[in-house]
Amino acid sequence: MSGSLTIAGKTFASRLFIGTSRYPNQQIMLDALAASGAEVVTVAMRRVSLDGGGESLFDVLGGKYFLLPNTAGCYTVRDAVLTAQLGREALGTNWVKLE
């Protein structure tokens, strides 16, 4: 078995997916992501500000990692579907991590 992971034709050198929540500040999160070696970073769409005020999480991470939207914080099917659609539009991907 090789160390890489291929899903839907996309290959990642690392099999580790890491999240963006619960860090004390953005710099610690960035340091942790870099130290992990992960290429896929999950982002809770319901917890990310899309208002355009300042540098967003997408701006900070977008060029370095494959951003995987997730449905954290959703309690109904309707909320999860709407959040997945938001992730598709915001990140331009059909991928979603269902929580």
Catalytic residue list contains 64 = no
Catalytic residue, chosen from 12, 46, 82, 97, is 97
Six-digit token pair at 96? 């979603």
Distance CA 83, CA 87 (A): 6
Which ranges constitute the DSSP H helices of the chain?
A: 26-36, 57-61, 77-91
Catalytic positions, please? 97
